[in-house]
Chain A
Amino acid sequence: MARTGKIAEPAPPAPDPAPGIPAALRGSVQVRHVDAGSCNGCEIEIGAAFGPVYDAERYGARLVASPRHADALLVTGAVTHNMAQPLRLTHAATPDPKVVIACGDCALGVGPVCAGHGVAGTVADVVGVDVTVPGCPPRPEAIVAALRSVTGR
């Protein structure tokens, strides 16, 4: 580690804060990731965004293990019939104030699998979406920028 030093990329300038984000979440956002029917391409990019190189944790975002601990739901994938109700329950289990981030083209209804027979709809059809991250899959920089627009750092 002494030889390698810091491997995190230098921080890009902060993006504009997203509109409608509750003031209570400034500086600290715990994120619960929900896979509502993703191909796991977005998951790899989310893993990269929280890894040492992009280091989303430096902006105050942190992945947590329970929706009870969360302030934000990071939803990926076209919502399948089987995952629509779990997504609603996860949303209900998250204490207010909360935000929903729809991550990836499938979650926004324009991805490659959205016409499949098992798909119930987009994330916005099931729960209200506050922030969107387009891309198939979205680059880690885009995910980090969306999280920063929520934390405001």
Chain B
Amino acid sequence: MSAAVAILLQVCVVVAAAPGVAGVTRQVRARLEGRVGAGVLQPYRDLRKLFAKRPLQASGTSWVTRAAPVLLVASSLVVAALVPVVTTQALPDVPGDLFVVVSVLLVGSVAVALLGLDAGSAFGGMGSSRHMMITALVEPTVLLAVYALSVPVDSSALGDIVGARHEDLTSIASPGGLLAVAALAVVVVAETGRLPVDNPSTHLELTMVHEAMVLEASGRDLARIELASWLRLTVLLALVVNLVAPWGIATSTTALALLVGTLAVVTKTALLAAVLGAAEIGLAKLRLFRVPELLAGSFALAFLAVTAAYLV
């Protein structure tokens, strides 16, 4: 099979698994709170219902409100195609370069920030400004962390980095690699809007970041935004898990390797999602003005990782 077919399969796997990943974190949280929980499949039911509802446009909104959800979901699908999730093979013309991945993530972030501003409500603008502040702190750390990982491999393509770690498992335990993955894990939590940076299940507008921007979205538009945020969560969790434990990832495009890669990544990501849900039980949301301290800490880790990558 060609690399393009493998990438298409990867995107399909990510889209099919993304609501499940959100469902696993919610279900683990519910169980640890002593609840029964709505079940792992509840996000699929929510999506099916939302896609059946016609969106309402607030008066005074422009084409941005209609275009932003589509742009957000499209950028998330591109990220799902660029990041090594099922296979380390990249599309021949578009390498999964870290700068490309970060830029495409940023396109989605800007789209949702504009969506928050477009309706002109106070909470939307507040959420957008907070979101851009967090994004501005997250992006340098992502670049630096993946740069530290790219030094031993001599390539900034994420597929090559994961492939090299898959071949030489001792490189995973190198000091630079460990520091970089720790830094990356913190920024993934911030980028996907999880505790302690943002609370995805909050009802209190004053504490919202991502939720505040999407308060005006409804129906199919809301379904696209929800799906896109779950896609980002799934892809970034899969990237972290593939960097820490690359076992099973397909390094060729044979049918067997892709099948093993799919099963491996679904299992590993579900496990990491369960760990994320369990960890969130013990966390409270950070005050907004403490978030830069957390992200500066992860930037320091990434900086140390780059230094260690050159020294060791």
Query: Which A residues contact B (CB, under 8 angstroms)?
Result: 1, 4-8, 11, 24-28, 30, 52, 55, 57-60, 62-66, 68-69, 71, 93-97
Looking at the assembled complex, report how far the CB atom of B28 sits from the nearest CB atom of chain A, in whole angstroms.
12
Are B35 and A28 in contact, CB atoms less than 8 angstroms apart? no
**Which are the 4 A-B pairs with shortest beta-carbon distances?**
A7-B34, A68-B218, A28-B45, A58-B36
Are A57 and B35 in contact, CB atoms less than 8 angstroms apart? yes
Are A28 and B42 in contact, CB atoms less than 8 angstroms apart? yes
How far apart are the CA atoms of A6 and B36 in the complex, in Å? 7
Query: Which B residues contact A (CB, under 8 angstroms)?
Result: 30-39, 42, 45-46, 48-49, 52-56, 202-205, 208, 211, 215-219, 222, 281
How far apart are the CA atoms of A11 and B37 in the complex, in Å? 12
Looking at the assembled complex, report how far the CB atom of B187 sits from the nearest CB atom of chain A, in whole angstroms.
26
A-B contact pairs, 19 of them (CB 8 A): A5-B34, A6-B36, A8-B34, A11-B36, A27-B48, A28-B45, A28-B46, A28-B48, A28-B49, A52-B33, A58-B37, A60-B45, A65-B202, A65-B205, A66-B215, A68-B217, A69-B217, A94-B56, A95-B54
Are B45 and A95 in contact, CB atoms less than 8 angstroms apart? no
Shortest Cβ distance from A68 into B: residue: B218
Looking at the assembled complex, report how far the CB atom of B274 sits from the nearest CB atom of chain A, in whole angstroms.
15
Interface of A is mostly: loop
Are B37 and A57 in contact, CB atoms less than 8 angstroms apart? yes
Are B49 and A1 in contact, CB atoms less than 8 angstroms apart? no
How far apart are the CA atoms of A97 and B203 in the complex, in Å? 23
User: Across the interface, which residues of B come within 8 angstroms of A62, CB to CB?
Assistant: 38
Are B55 and A95 in contact, CB atoms less than 8 angstroms apart? yes
Are A95 and B219 in contact, CB atoms less than 8 angstroms apart? yes
Give the residue of A8, A24, A94 whose beta carbon is less than 8 angstroms from that of B36: A8
Given contacts A27-B45, A28-B46, A57-B30, contact A68 B216 (CB under 8 A): yes
Give the residue of A24, A28, A64 whose beta carbon is less than 8 angstroms from that of B203: A64
User: Across the interface, which residues of B come within 8 angstroms of A93, CB to CB?
Assistant: 56
Given contacts A24-B53, A25-B49, contact A65 B35 (CB under 8 A): no
How far apart are the CA atoms of A66 and B215 in the complex, in Å? 6
Looking at the assembled complex, report how far the CB atom of A120 sits from the nearest CB atom of chain B, in whole angstroms.
25
Are B218 and A95 in contact, CB atoms less than 8 angstroms apart? yes
User: Across the interface, which residues of A come within 8 angstroms of B55, CB to CB?
Assistant: 95
* Further 14 A-B residue pairs, CB within 8 A, beyond A1-B281, A55-B30, A95-B55: A6-B36, A27-B48, A58-B36, A58-B39, A59-B38, A65-B204, A65-B211, A65-B215, A66-B216, A68-B217, A68-B222, A95-B54, A95-B218, A97-B53
